[in-house]
Amino acid sequence: MWSRHNPSFLLHCFSLFLFLLVCAGYFAVPLWDSDFWWHIASGREILQNGIPDTDPFGVFPSTDIVRNDTVLKGQWLGQVVLFSVFDAGGVNAVVAFRVLVLLACVALVWWRCRQLNVGLLALWLVLILVGLNAGNFGGERPQLLSFLFAALFFVAIDLAEKNRRWLFALPVITVLWANSHGGVLLGVALLGLWTLLRLLDTKAGWQEKRPWFLATGAVVLASLLTPNGLQTYLYLLDLEGSVLQARTSEYISAFQLYTLGYIWQQVWVVAFYIVALVAAVSMFQRRQWQYLASTVFLGAISASSFRYFVFFIFLCAPYIAWAVQDTLKNLPELKQNITRIAQGVLLFSLFGVLIVSLLRGGFYQEIYPVEMADFVQKNNLRGRAFNNMEWGGYLLWRLTPQVTPYIDGRMLDEKRFPPYTNILWATPPGIQWFEHENFQLVMMPYHGRYDPQRYKLLDYLRAQPEWLLVYRDAKGVVFLRDERRKNN
């Protein structure tokens, strides 16, 4: 099937090449993740002054040690990489980096399918669904590296099934992964599950089980070789069931994307789950317990939180494709048309190459206060600023240390959310909190991105003599406090 002497092999490779080009065009959307800005601000800070012990931007409280350590130190390598890419080539370099990482993950899915001798029909069915889904979750943050390290982690696991020496690669990958993103805990859990099932296998002897047992222990120890050490695990326990988790959109179910307006994304997610369900039945019948356990585990946690769905597709897609081909073998009319289907994919790819000409760089400037930050910077306005959360990361990047934002997209102390919301809508408690904070600046849009209702705080500020409207554009306003006018 995969022999280079097979006439269809070159056709398949050419189809794959064109498919990846199509994926490149599909993935190359402008930079969109608002968290990107505070990540690169953190990366810049780390390169200049080292990994901080307290929030260098003055936003985080120092009382919550677990959350503080996790946010400031838990992703330091990923933040340094993102800043370095940005520093080298700007926003377009970051977009290219995102595309390359996602393409590498898709290519590794294909490679692992090849190692499992997956048939063409099953491979293309799953690979196309992986491509359609991958572009919807690849925000510009350290999680990108987490996807790549997770994919490499499972490449090593698959290879270790044939050659135990590949187990030595797992702790090395783990150290890099653990210092880039907290997703490393998924790798630890999945390897532990994989090893547990092997230990329970009565047909395998200890000689076969021991390398996996030792590798799992080494991976656990490697995951602790970070500035946070055990705090990484403690934070995960602390986060479960918290207000912060309830307020974060990434923790909604992968089956509820439509509630956020992502209709087509929801279609591709459901399609992948349907194929995975068919595969799970085949895995159970063939007693491939490791494949089944990984698929069920990642599918289940993705159903409860869509932030895990990308790991589901990149890690389990080869096992799903391997199992699906059994079902397809029972459909002889499809088996006979494999070559035609491959040619159809090739034709589709040829048309899809046109998408590559639409590669889009840059970022969505219309959702960020670019001109507003220019004004504040040019006029040397300084002090602590009340701002909306979506702008916080960008303001950290543009105006630190000149301006200290009140809130940003990092994992903040959940006690800050009630004051923040009340201040936005100028409730009586909100006004008390606002005055108590003694802000020097207010940098706000007129309303939320998805809510056209005007923020009441802006009306309150207009009525206060000490607050001067010094800047206004289509995105929002800047108010400056002048204490001399308060009693006039």
- Categorize the per-residue pLDDT at 28 as very low, low, confident or very high, splitting at 50, 70 and 90: confident
- Phi first, then psi: give them for residue 388, nearest 5 degrees: -80, 155
Long-range contacts of 160-167 (CB under 8 A, 24+ apart): 160/211, 160/212, 160/215, 164/211, 167/211, 167/212, 167/214, 167/215
Candidate from 44-53, 60-69, 72-81 with smallest mean pLDDT: 60-69
Sign (positive or negative) of CA dihedral 165, 167, 171, 177:
positive
The answer to whether the CB of 457 falls within 8 A of the CB of 425 is yes
Question: What span, in angstroms and rounded, lies between the C-alpha atoms of 464 and 488?
Answer: 11
pLDDT at 42 over 50: yes
What does pTM read for this prediction?
0.88
pLDDT at 357 over 50: no
- pLDDT of res. 346: 53
Contacts of 357 (CB under 8 A, 6+ apart): 25
- Phi first, then psi: give them for residue 89, nearest 5 degrees: -145, 10
Residues written for the chain:
488
Q: C-alpha distances in angstroms, 320 versus 105, 162, 303, 449?
A: 16, 20, 17, 38
Quote the mean pLDDT of the chain. 86
Question: What span, in angstroms and rounded, lies between the C-alpha atoms of 287 and 339?
Answer: 30
Q: What is the pLDDT of residues 291-345, one digit of tens each?
A: 999 999 999 999 988 889 999 999 999 999 999 987 777 665 555 555 555 555 5
Candidate from 63-72, 110-119, 124-133 with smallest mean pLDDT: 63-72
Amino acid occupying residue 393: G
Instruction: Give me Rg for the CA atoms of the chain.
Output: 25
